[in-house]
Amino acid sequence: MHELLDGFVLKELDNDILRKKMDSGIFSMGNKRIAFTTDSYVVNPVVFPGGDIGSLAVYGTVNDLSVCGAKPLYISLGVIIEEGLERRLLERIVRSIKEALKRSGVLVVTGDTKVVEKGSCDKIFINTAGIGEVYYEGLSTNSIRPGDSVIVNGPIGEHAISVLSKREGMEFETGISSDAAPLNGLIAKVLKASGKVRLMRDPTRGGIATTLNEMVMGMPFGIAVDESEVPVSKAVKSASELLGLDSLYLACEGRVIVVTAPEDEKKVLRAMKADGLGRSARCIGRVTREHKGRVWLNMASGGRRILDMLSGEQLPRIC
């Protein structure tokens, strides 16, 4: 995907805003700075422990705006429905969207609906676009400095394992629910507590390993991750071992990676822990002058290994 986007799409559609490759495009309208994002959701199954495609679409859009330092305000809703979809399922998804909007504090202000022939899509696909007002400027990979702290707000991989367990009909001894949630409240607390946040990203497809690789790609620094500090629940760890998956590459939908100046690490952690979505927040690593453009894992067993960008997807159609 990165090769396709960087090698062709971005070259053909190149402009100053798109070139920054942020989760949202940021530009000026009058005297305001606006963040604008879009995403499409094709998760299979459409209902999973802890959520469904409706709430996932809202939270994903809200989070893409939030990690760019914007207050999410409005979203669009485009729905592609397969002929024959049960009305009860559609009603459930719409009500889920309603609850997610209420929880996130945003409004759906426009939308579109299309019905396609049976077999042309899998039950229901959703596309969203979101608009927010930027209140925190300067978030960029160019702002990152060696010594900076890398923080995550909670256990990783829960969304991916939740979707996989439902898809494959597996039951684990300890139930695993998706971590999908709106991060705008938590992020607002973090940015109020610290004026030295360098960059934020939500580790969706490809998990934290791929997201960290995106941060260091082509940059004059690397990132060293301490395996023993990465929060992973026992249930996700057991499921990953059973299925031969690496939890560092599992998708999250309610997690944010924050890179901040080391002197503000404690401020960021306190702000996160004061929010229900950040009680298990941890500093998982540091930005380093070594191994430029690389992510390294300091293993709990001793030694270290390179964490590469995920090639392909461990779990397709996860969001």
Is 74 in the same domain as 206?
no
Domain that holds residue 108: 2-134
Is 209 in the same domain as 229?
yes
Is 174 in the same domain as 299?
yes
In CATH, what number is assigned to the domain containing residue 92?
Answer: 3.30.1330.10
C-alpha to C-alpha distance for 96 and 105, rounded to whole angstroms: 14
Q: What pairing do the DSSP bridges indicate for beta strands 295-298 and 222-226?
A: parallel
DSSP letter (8 states) at residue 121: S
Is 80 in the same domain as 147?
no
Per-residue pLDDT of the chain (319 residues; tens, 9 = 90+): 777 888 888 889 999 999 888 889 999 999 999 999 999 999 999 999 999 999 999 999 999 999 999 999 999 999 999 999 999 999 999 999 999 999 999 999 999 999 999 999 999 999 999 999 999 999 999 999 999 999 999 999 999 999 999 998 887 766 899 999 999 999 999 999 999 999 999 999 899 999 999 999 999 999 999 999 999 999 999 999 988 999 999 999 999 999 999 999 999 999 999 999 999 999 999 999 988 999 999 998 889 999 998 776 667 889 9
Contacts of 193 (CB under 8 A, 6+ apart): 264, 267, 268, 270, 271
| Domain termination site, one of 113, 134, 155 | 134
Q: Decide if 313 is inside a domain.
A: no
Q: What pairing do the DSSP bridges indicate for beta strands 295-298 and 304-306?
A: antiparallel
Tell me the pTM.
0.94
Is 13 in the same domain as 113?
yes
Give the orientation angle of helix 265-273 with respect to helix 184-193, to 10 degrees: 140
